[in-house]
Structure 1
Amino acid sequence: MDDIRWEEPFCAEGSACFRLGTDGDGNAYIAVAGAEDIYLTDSREALRTLIRDIKSGKADHLL
């Protein structure tokens, strides 16, 4: 999608790299780096919650 603004890829210590993106409608996107045409979307608040949970260790198994 052309209207998604993707951030630089984030790569963990292993080989798991992903990208975060947003659009002008307030949606947030997450995709595996290199496969941005296959993504999950939700609200920006849902993405913020996911990131907070990952950083606090609640969801580290997702990475």
Structure 2
Amino acid sequence: MAEITWEEPFCGEGNNCFRIGTDLEGNAYIALAGQEDHYLTDTREALRTLIRDIKAGRADHLL
């Protein structure tokens, strides 16, 4: 299992908290805070794209 470095939890108002993590091999991880054993993983670039799209409102239909 990869050694994941988790950032502090991000909590939206009235929403679950989530955490973003990275490893030394260039992978990015996202998980609900407290459930870091159950994460989604992809490349760091894919995570950057996801975050940019969310900020731009292109993922609002998923929320």
Pair in the same fold by TM > 0.5: yes
> Per-residue displacement from partner, 1:7-62 (whole Å, max 9, x unpaired)?
00001111311000000000000000000000000000000000001111111344
| Unaligned 5+ runs, structure 1 | none
Runs of 4+ in 1 over 4 A off after TM superposition: none
Partner Cα separation in structure 2 for residue 44 and residue 35 of structure 1:
20
Partner Cα separation in structure 2 for residue 61 and residue 17 of structure 1:
19
| Aligned pairs (5 A) from 1:3-22 | 3-22=3-22
- TM-score relative to the length of structure 2: 0.90
Percentage of identical aligned residues: 76
| Unaligned 5+ runs, structure 2 | none
What is the Cα-based RMSD across aligned positions, in Å? 1.5
Q: 1:48 to 1:17 in 2, by over 3 A?
A: same
Q: 1:62 to 1:20 in 2, by over 3 A?
A: farther
Q: Alignment length, in residue pairs?
A: 63
